[in-house]
Amino acid sequence: MTAAPIAVVGLGGLFPQAPDLDTFQRHIRTRHDASRVAPPGRWVLDPEEAYHPDLAPDTVYSTRACFVENFAFDAAGLNLDADTLRGLDPLYEMVLHVGRQAFADAATDRLDRRRVGVTLAAIALPTDGASAITSDIHGRAFEAALLGPAATRTPRPAPLSSPLNARVTARPASLLAQALGLGGGSCTLDAACASSLVAVKLACDQLNAGRTDAMLAGGVSRPESLYTQMGFCQLRALSPSGVCRPFSADADGLVVGEGAGIVVLKRLDDARRDGDTIYGVIRGIGLSNDIAGSLLAANSEGQLRAMREAYRQASWRPDDIDLIECHGTGTPLGDTVEVESLHALWQQASPPVGWRSGQCAIGSVKSNIGHLLTAAGAAGLIKVLLAVRDRTLPPSANVDSANTSAALDRGQDQTQRPSPFRVQTVAEPWERRSPETPRRAAVSAFGFGGINAHVLIEEEAAPAPAVGARATPMSPTRGRLPRPDASTTPVAIVGMDAHVGRLDSLQAFQEAMLRGDSAIEPWPNTRWRGRDDDARAVWGGQPPSGAYIDAASVPVGAFRVPPNEIPETLPQQWLMLQSVERALTDAGTPGLSDNLRTGVIIGMGLDLNTTNFHHRWALLGLAREWATSLALHLDGPRFDAWVATLRNESGPALTPGRVLGALGNIIA
């Protein structure tokens, strides 16, 4: 890297059918596929009732996914009180479990915990806990309308979901930092499927800037499973067969997984001094965004920029790599574009790269555990680090060497050389090229919206510390590096905009501040679509006052978005587009001179409107209870019609436009 190399010194992971990393590694070696039909009780709909062979509203055309099951969280030893832990979503429990596991795996006794930070990825989608909050509110309203006074006489239990569960993107990293007593700062991000590698990059930046002495980085993905299953069906990205086959001629789509992966990072010199187990050394990380194409279609140009930046940092050539852990989701188009990007990287390298047929192994952990979305990159990274440790090239599942994708055969250049890539289909020893050449690997993660990340990993080649050697205890300032010039260069703010509550422009905001006016107002009565009394009951009284935005308007034709897609998009996305456009205009740069060196970082939170779909799906089971309470005797067609009426009253069905319109990372 252009800065100090970073060592990976601790690993933690919880993956489908793999409660520990030994099981995870064994399943990879044996090509185990963790996919299964949704377990009983996991979905608010019974899988058989949710299934429909064709694409249809409120149904899935596959009931298979990869699940973390039988996970029992133990909070012992964490710096969290009982009130904080009560009713936490499994998302947080996974983060706490895996983070503690990774931290315990590293040499941390001499660390000043005030100089240890956390960067985590978490997807801004409904979780079981967040959906339970909304479902309770809507359920009260429906029961009152249908059952009348009888509903008010029925005792309701206190909400079982913690209010923290509404803060899907705000609390995972900070809660882990609190639990472990870490004071080096925390950040939770959503950069789609590239998220956890972006988190690793930000953690490396913190270490190289000297702000911290160790970092926990990685990702978690534990959204409401039925939501992701419905959503990927609507996007026609889900595998109808329920089998993930990256780089296979039989590939037909992705399979959704869940879990968490976290690594502990230190500067390499510090790790050697402390006697850490060094699983691998990060030599380069490239990030990029696509500048063309659609939000869903992969773009080779953007992928190549990320990969080339990583190799530039490491001063490596593409053919220095022995193993590439690909993004490889099992979607035929996405996998084809990724292979084409790899071929272009090798063919267009300067100076030219020489290779032999199939010299570089490729694969994807998604064939074993499905697509973990914001934790996918962390799973791939940990797979590679374990492979380096065990000196074994790991195989992919659900593909054999005789049935690989045709894209792997299209790597010939003008000299008609065959492709340098082969899909690794069996576990085999990973030999060094020479005694002095360390094993080297790459990990890719490419996300919705064209967010690309590529990480280069090298085996630690330095001799291990002598047995019995003792590292010097670290003082609060020991190991602190002088900050590079870039971090001390003054930064100018050249454009601004604001829309805060009723203050809908920068001018309105400025005038209010100068007058001493406040944008804080009472809770709008229409915030919960006429169900505000029920919302108050769930929140335990009067909701807080705030700077609420009660409505947002979008001019027809704005941002080249078809008018019929505007109602399907969350208001926060339109608000951000409008504010960014006005900030650029304020800066006098509506067009950027070098857009390839311009980044976008946006703060956002989960909009609870995304959880409304859960209640729509839950109405099938609730309708059966209400029919019994009302002594309604409805035959099949009449009952189905009643459920359809209830669902339409609840809100619209999930559609492709609403899936994209609810993705938090799309904002940036």
Q: How far apart are CA 10 and CA 81, in angstroms?
A: 26
221, β-bridge pairs: 259
**Residues forming a β-bridge with 282:** 6, 457
- Say how many CA atoms lie within 13 Å of 290 toward its Cβ: 20
Return the pLDDT at 479: 47
Question: What percent of the chain stands above pLDDT 90?
Answer: 67
* List 97, 327, 499, 615, catalytic entry: 327
Quick one: average pLDDT of 128-136? 89
The β-bridge partners of 6 are: 267, 282
Dihedral angle of Cα 354, 357, 359, 362, to the nearest 10 degrees: 120
Give the pLDDT confidence score for residue 350 in this predicted structure.
76
What pLDDT, on a 0 to 100 scale, did the predictor assign at position 33? Answer: 98
The structural domains of the chain, with segments of one domain joined by +, span: 6-137+161-460, 493-667
Q: Cβ of 547: how many Cβ atoms within 10 Å?
A: 13
For domain 6-137+161-460, which CATH number applies: 3.30.390.30, 3.30.210.10, 3.40.47.10, 3.30.310.50? 3.40.47.10
Neighbour-count burial of 54, counting CB atoms closer than 10 A to its CB (0-12 exposed, 13-18 middle, 19+ buried) = exposed
Query: pLDDT class for 138, splitting at 50, 70, 90?
Result: confident
Question: What six digits make up the tokens of 407?
Answer: 């894209």
Nearest CA among 363, 371, 289, 293 for reference residue 321: 363
Residue corresponding to tokens 């990320």: 306
Q: Which of the following is catalytic: 27, 66, 187, 193?
A: 193
**Is 454 tagged catalytic?**
no
Q: Confidence band (pLDDT; 50, 70, 90) for 530?
A: low
DSSP bridge partners of 444:
454
Half-sphere exposure of 649 (CA within 13 A, CB side): 16
So what's the pLDDT on residue 597?
83
pLDDT(135) > 90: no
Distance CA(370)–CA(223), nearest Å, equals 14
pLDDT at 292: 77
pLDDT-derived band at 152 (thresholds 50, 70, 90) equals: low
Task: Say yes or no to pLDDT of 483 above 50.
Answer: no
* Tokens 């034709």 -> residue: 557
**Of residues 486, 485, 480, the one with CA closest to residue 212:** 480
- Cα 223-369-287 angle, rounded to 5 deg: 75
- Widest Cα–Cα separation across the chain: 81
User: What pLDDT, in 10s, does the model give residues 340-355?
Assistant: 999 999 998 877 878 8
Residue 64 Cα to chain centre, angstroms: 20
Q: Where are the beta strands (DSSP E) in 311-363?
A: 323-325, 360-363
Q: Among the listed ranges 51-65, 300-314, 364-378, 457-471, which one has the minimum average pLDDT value? A: 457-471
464: which DSSP letter? P
**Quick one: pLDDT at residue 475?**
40
Highest mean pLDDT (candidates 129-133, 389-393, 408-412) = 389-393
pLDDT value at residue 126: 94
pLDDT at 22 over 80: yes
Q: Find the catalytic residue in 27, 371, 454, 499.
A: 371
pLDDT at 141 over 90: no
Residue 537 banded pLDDT, cuts 50, 70, 90: low
| Single-letter amino acid, residue 260 | A
- 327 catalytic per annotation: yes
Question: End-to-end CA distance of the chain, in Å?
Answer: 27
| Interval 541-578: pLDDT, tens | 667 789 988 777 777 777 777 777 778 888 888 888 89
Catalytic site residue 187?
no
pLDDT single digits (tens) 596-610: 888 889 888 888 889
- Higher-confidence residue of 611 and 153: namely 611
Residues 232, 239: Cα–Cα separation, whole Å? 9
As a whole-number percent, the residues of the chain with pLDDT over 70 amount to 90
| Rounded CA separation 486/508 (Å) | 35
Residue range 202-226: average pLDDT? 97
Question: What DSSP letter does each residue of 35-63 carry, written as one string?
Answer: EEEPPTTSSSS-HHHHB-SS--TT-BS--
If you average pLDDT over every residue of the chain, what do you get?
89
Query: What letter does residue 288 receive in the DSSP assignment?
Result: E
Q: What is the pLDDT of residue 160?
A: 59
**What confidence score (pLDDT) does residue 543 get?**
72
**Pair 222, 90: CB distance under 8 Å:** yes
472 has a pLDDT exceeding 50 = no
Is the per-residue pLDDT at 31 higher than 60? yes
Handedness of CA 533, 569, 120, 130 (dihedral sign): positive
